[in-house]
Amino acid sequence: MRLIFLGPPGVGKGTQAQRLSETHKVPKISTGDILREAVQKNTSLGAKAKSFIDAGMLVPDDVVIEMVREGLKEPDCQKGYIMDGFPRTIEQAEALEKMLKETGSIIQQVLNFQLSDEELVRRLSGRRSCPHCQTVYNLAFHPPKQEGACDQCKSLLVQRSDDEPQTILKRLEVYQRQTRPLISYYEGQKLLININAVGSVEDVFERVVSAVQKGKMG
């Protein structure tokens, strides 16, 4: 299973990628998670990325492409993976294609999650996450059992700095300008499957599983 999860920030693709990764035992490569962890650990990658993330902008292509190149070499990725949040520009998509060609592998499906801007803003504003185990919650429709604490590891939940109102608007604008063109790019390659992201995590997950099943048969 080699999939790309595409869509605007806040659409829930990370949550869905996490679920599919658990149920289908496939590793998830989330560039956002890798970058946030680097920032937290104060590595040189984190130092390079922090100002871009905080401003709601994309980290430069060469940095992210190199990160993914390294990730794909991991032994657990040899049988498949779910890419969450990568590629996000045409340049990244072209670089990925080149990397895969070198290893004789291909992307099988690109799931494009769709939701209105209004709902995206609502979801991003309510998002809280665990800085320790990265579990993501939403105050409106997927709250933690105990207010402010992670269900898994009990750490104190935080709001991502880039989920503040001004940065949310910037990220949506960046998505429109830099990431949205990937929809036609993958449509052209006949890899795109649209996923309606309205509804509960469970509702959307059913659509994801059904799309993946259909993809396997087709």
- Residues catalogued as catalytic: 13, 88, 127, 160, 171
Kindly state the smallest distance separating residue 218's Cβ from ligand AMP, in Å: 27
According to the binding rule CB under 6 A, does residue 59 interact with ligand AMP?
A: yes
Maximal CA-CA distance, the chain:
48
According to the binding rule CB under 6 A, does residue 163 interact with ligand AMP?
A: no
Out of 52, 77, 97, 114, which residue is the one contacting ligand AMP (CB under 6 A)? 52
Cα atoms in the 13 Å half-sphere on the side-chain side of 178: 21
Under rule CB under 6 A, how many of the chain's residues touch ligand AMP?
Answer: 17
The interface region with ligand AMP, picked from 15-23, 58-66, 105-113, 139-147 by CB under 6 A, is 58-66
Nearer to ligand AMP, 62 or 206 (CB): 62
Interacting residues toward ligand AMP by CB under 6 A:
9, 31-32, 35, 52-53, 56-59, 64, 85-86, 88, 92, 162, 171
